[in-house]
Amino acid sequence: MKIFIDTANVKEIEEASTWGIVDGVTTNPSLIAKEGKKLIDVIKKITSLIDGPISAEVSEGKANDMVNEAFKYARLHQNIVIKLPFTIEGLKACKILTSFKIKTNVTLVFSLPQAVLAAKAGATYVSPFLGRLDDLEKTDDSGYKLVKSIHEAFKEYGFTTQIISASIRHVKHVEQSILAGSDVATIPFKVLKDSYYHLLTEKGLQIFAEASKK
C-alpha cells in the first residue's frame, strides 16, 4: 500500500519526507490557495522534495482547456499526475491525456459507477472521498463501503486503475482505507502524524524507559 500526503504546505512535506514512508503528494485548488502561492511554484518545490507521484489539479472546465492546462503541469516533472474532476469534460480530458501517456487522477468521486467510468476513461488513479461522503450520509463507514466496492469491482473486471482513498479526516479513515483494499491513502499531515500514536505504545515506552534506567 502506498501513502501519499494530502497537502500543499512545503514545511509539512519537508518534515514528513524525513519519515521514510511518504510515496507521493496530492494537492487540490483549496490546498494550493491556502499557501497563497502560484500552483506551478508550489508543485515545482514539491517535486524536489518527494520522488513519487505529485498530483496537480486543473481548474479549467472544458476538456480541451483542461488538456492544455495539463500539458503545462506535466512538463514540469516526470512525476506529475494530472488531477481531473469527475465530469463528462473531465473524463474526455482523461482519455486524451492517457493517449499521451500522461498519468491522471480522477477526483471528487463519490459512487461506484463514477469510479468505473473513470477507470473506463483510462484513469491512472481514482480518488473516492471518504470524509465528505460520511459527512453527507451522516455515517462513519459510507466511505469505507465505497472504497471496498470499488476495490472488488476493479478486481472483478480487471481494471488497473489504482484507488486513492482521499478526504481522510482521522486515523479510523486510514484503517478503513487499508481494510477496504485501497492502493493508496492520501493523508493530511496531522492525520499522518496521529497514525503513529497509540496510548499503549506511549505507556509501553515509558515502562521500557524506566526499566532501562535500572
Q: Report 13-42 residues binding ligand G3P (CB under 6 A).
A: 26, 28
Tell me if 55 sits within 8 A of 84, measured CB to CB: no
Verify binding: residue 105, ligand G3P, rule CB under 6 A: no
Q: Cα Rg for the chain, rounded, in angstroms? A: 18
Q: Which of 104, 105, 124, 186 touches ligand G3P (CB under 6 A)?
A: 186
User: Rounded to the nearest 10 degrees, how much is the dihedral formed by the CA atoms of 130, 188, 46, 183?
Assistant: -40
Nearer of residues 47 and 55 to ligand G3P, judged by Cβ: 55
Find the part of the chain contacting ligand G3P (CB under 6 A) among 16-24, 38-46, 69-77, 124-132. 124-132
CB count, 10 Å around CB of 191?
19
Verify binding: residue 9, ligand G3P, rule CB under 6 A: no
Minimum distance of ligand G3P from residue 166's CB (angstroms): 4
**Count of helix runs (H) and strand runs (E) in the chain:** 11, 8
Minimum distance of ligand G3P from residue 133's CB (angstroms): 9
- Closest by CA to 53, choosing from 121, 112, 2, 123, is 2
Please indicate whether residue 83 is annotated as part of the active site: yes
Verify binding: residue 129, ligand G3P, rule CB under 6 A: yes
Q: How far apart are CA 56 and CA 46, in angstroms?
A: 11
Verify binding: residue 181, ligand G3P, rule CB under 6 A: no
Q: Report 65-84 residues binding ligand G3P (CB under 6 A).
A: none
Verify binding: residue 167, ligand G3P, rule CB under 6 A: yes
Catalytic residue selected from 11, 44, 83, 148? 83
Tell me if 130 sits within 8 A of 168, measured CB to CB: yes
> In 3-state terms, what secondary structure has residue 63?
helix
Buried b (16+ CB within 10 A) or exposed e, 100-131: eebbbbbbbbbebebbbbbbebbbbbbbbbbb
Q: Which of 2, 37, 77, 132 touches ligand G3P (CB under 6 A)?
A: 132
Nearer of residues 26 and 47 to ligand G3P, judged by Cβ: 26
- Indicate which residues carry an active-site annotation: 83
Applying CB under 6 A, which residues contact ligand G3P? 6, 26, 28, 129, 131-132, 166-167, 186
